[in-house]
Chains A and B, each alone.
Chain A
Amino acid sequence: MNVKSLVRRNYAKHPRIDFPDYKSSTFRAPKNKKISFSSSNTEILGPIFNKNIIGKLDNDLTLNFSRNKVSPLGHKIIVYGTVSDQFSNPIKGALIEIWQANAAGKYLHDNDENPAPIDPNFAGCGRCLTSSSGYYEFLTIQPGPYPYLNRGIEWRPMHIHFSIFGKSFGQRLITQMYFEGDPLIKICPMVNSIGNKKAKNSLIGVLDTSRSNTQNLLAYKFDIVLRGIKQTYFENRKEGL
């Protein structure tokens, strides 16, 4: 018999759920301990998304909302990298969805109270599927930092939100990529909700100078690791044992 299971999550390398410095968590973060159990079919299997859902401009945020091909304001960037699992296997066909503020730090969303201007040519929404080598790439503009109400007014470092589906529901990940050199990173409570320094640093996109210098844009590399799936073989055992 062949039993599949996800690699147990190492919570020491994830953010704390209940983190008072991030005010919004006060009345939303559950207080009780999570229940652990062995992976079953729902955690191991799909959903998997088909190529035909992806449109030609879905990973080009500089064009997918612009009218008459007018560029959004701000400087163009490429964000690229690979999606792999914890055993270093590239994940093909992973769905990556991103969202971000415009160059002025404003989201195209009714709930955004930041008094910065919206950009009529930029929605800040994109998606793509990874290639057979796990590669992905987005063309977008540099998101601005923005103020928000936390313990008083605080500023978020520049960031892009990422949502990723691998091959199994248990690999599902939602995170944010930050930008190398941004002084706001080290004072951000959301970043600092992650206690482990190495884990924190793994969320920082690294400036790729060689690629930046050969193209008319800055390039940032951000690699993503999803949970591994283990296969355990039991010999000479009856099903159910």
Chain B
Amino acid sequence: MENAKENLDETPFQTAGPFLHIGCMPNAIKINRIYQNDLGEIPFMNKKDADLITIEGSVFDGNGVALDDVMIETWQCDEKGQFTEENGFARLMPNHLTKKFTLKTVKPGSYIGYDGKTHSPYVSLSISSRGLNMTLNTRVYFEDDELKNDPLLSIIDEVNKKNLIAKKIKKNSYLFDIFLQGDKETIFLDI
């Protein structure tokens, strides 16, 4: 049984433009007099540094330039596979000098979804910026996890699958680059 058909259209997207930081992360661009903290500065308030992993990477445009004006948002469950309302959300902007973003977070656990299937650990990630008429969505999986039966990865071919999987560079530390265009274009999702 399904409920009634929707009667309204979703409001259309428009680009977030080059100045989205004013509204979404003002403290990060030195507008410090309005909000005490930017939203999503720390994804898990209840965890110690020692329990966290780092995911680092850059967002490249079609010319291979690493961008520093994008906003990245991440959303995930905790290490036990639990989604909670108040933890798991982060906002990031690449560093102006290194052009890298750094997410310090809990390594998510796997979970059994509404569909009854076991989902491998992943972090959901979105990108908003100038030049993007709609926010892009993708996922970060981890190369040292069991990924064979994940419901999303199993519908993607081997070559493209690779660019959704973060490489382990050292203990608790992963690399995940995002390519908006080109040979290595990242898989984006119609969520």
Using CB atoms and an 8 Å cutoff, list the residues of chain A in contact with chain B.
1-7, 9-10, 13-17, 19, 22, 24-32, 34-50, 53, 55, 57-58, 64-65, 84-88, 95, 97-99, 107-112, 123-127, 161, 163, 169-170, 172-176, 190-191, 193-194, 196, 198-200, 202-203, 224-228, 230-233, 239-241
B73 — nearest CB in chain A belongs to which residue? A172
Query: What per-residue 1/0 map shows which CB atoms of B104-137 lie under 8 Å from chain A?
Result: 0000000101111101001010101111111110
A99 engages B19 (CB within 8 Å): yes
A41 engages B133 (CB within 8 Å): no
CB-CB under 8 A for A86 and B133, given A97-B23, A123-B34, A127-B23: no
Q: What is the CB-to-nearest-CB distance from A218 to chain B, in angstroms, rounded to a whole number? A: 21
Of B7-15, B46-54, B165-173, the one touching chain A: B7-15
Scoring B39, B111, B152 by chain A CB atoms within 10 A of each residue's CB, the highest score goes to B39
Q: What B residues does A108 contact at CB under 8 A?
A: 22, 31
Q: What B residues does A43 contact at CB under 8 A?
A: 124, 191
B11 engages A202 (CB within 8 Å): yes
Q: What B residues does A169 contact at CB under 8 A?
A: 75, 124, 191
Scoring A32, A50, A126, A169 by chain B CB atoms within 10 A of each residue's CB, the highest score goes to A169
Q: What A residues does B3 contact at CB under 8 A?
A: 87, 230-231
Q: How many residues of B contact A (CB 8 A)?
A: 78
Contact among B9, B33, B132 for A199, CB-based, below 8 A: B9
Q: What A residues does B187 contact at CB under 8 A?
A: 32, 35
B116 — nearest CB in chain A belongs to which residue? A240
**18 other contacts beyond A28-B181, A46-B83, A85-B8, with CB at 8 A cut-off?**
A10-B10, A25-B133, A31-B181, A31-B185, A35-B188, A39-B114, A41-B114, A42-B77, A47-B75, A47-B85, A87-B7, A111-B19, A123-B26, A172-B73, A174-B15, A174-B16, A174-B135, A175-B13
Q: What A residues does B97 contact at CB under 8 A?
A: none
Scoring A45, A65, A95, A170 by chain B CB atoms within 10 A of each residue's CB, the highest score goes to A45
B13 engages A15 (CB within 8 Å): yes
Whether, in the assembled complex, B98 has its beta carbon less than 8 Å from a beta carbon of chain A, the answer is no
Query: What per-residue 1/0 map shows which CB atoms of B172-191 lie under 8 Å from chain A?
Result: 00000000110001111111
Q: What is the CB-to-nearest-CB distance from B188 to chain A, in angstroms, rounded to a whole number? A: 5
Contact among A17, A64, A226 for B133, CB-based, below 8 A: A17
Q: What B residues does A225 contact at CB under 8 A?
A: 8-11
Q: What CA separation (Å) do A226 and B62 show in the bound complex?
A: 31
B117 — nearest CB in chain A belongs to which residue? A240
Q: What CA separation (Å) do A35 and B73 show in the bound complex?
A: 19
Q: What B residues does A17 contact at CB under 8 A?
A: 132-134
**Contacts A/B (CB < 8 Å), 16 sampled:** A6-B191, A10-B10, A25-B132, A27-B62, A28-B181, A30-B188, A34-B188, A41-B111, A46-B88, A86-B6, A108-B22, A123-B33, A125-B22, A174-B20, A193-B133, A225-B8
A29 engages B12 (CB within 8 Å): no
Whether, in the assembled complex, B69 has its beta carbon less than 8 Å from a beta carbon of chain A, the answer is yes
Query: What per-residue 1/0 map shows which CB atoms of B68-90 lie under 8 Å from chain A?
Result: 01000101110000011110110
Q: What is the CB-to-nearest-CB distance from A67 to chain B, in angstroms, rounded to a whole number? A: 9
Whether, in the assembled complex, B61 has its beta carbon less than 8 Å from a beta carbon of chain A, the answer is yes
Q: What A residues does B158 contact at CB under 8 A?
A: none
Contact among A190, A196, A199 for B15, CB-based, below 8 A: A190
B129 engages A28 (CB within 8 Å): yes
A99 engages B22 (CB within 8 Å): yes
Contact among B7, B8, B61, B111 for A28, CB-based, below 8 A: B61
B128 engages A174 (CB within 8 Å): yes
Q: What CA separation (Å) do A79 and B31 show in the bound complex?
A: 23
Q: What is the CB-to-nearest-CB distance from B140 to chain A, in angstroms, rounded to a whole number? A: 12
A40 — nearest CB in chain B belongs to which residue? B113
B75 engages A3 (CB within 8 Å): no
Q: What A residues does B124 contact at CB under 8 A?
A: 42-43, 169
Contact among A29, A125, A228 for B181, CB-based, below 8 A: A29
Scoring A97, A107, A226 by chain B CB atoms within 10 A of each residue's CB, the highest score goes to A97
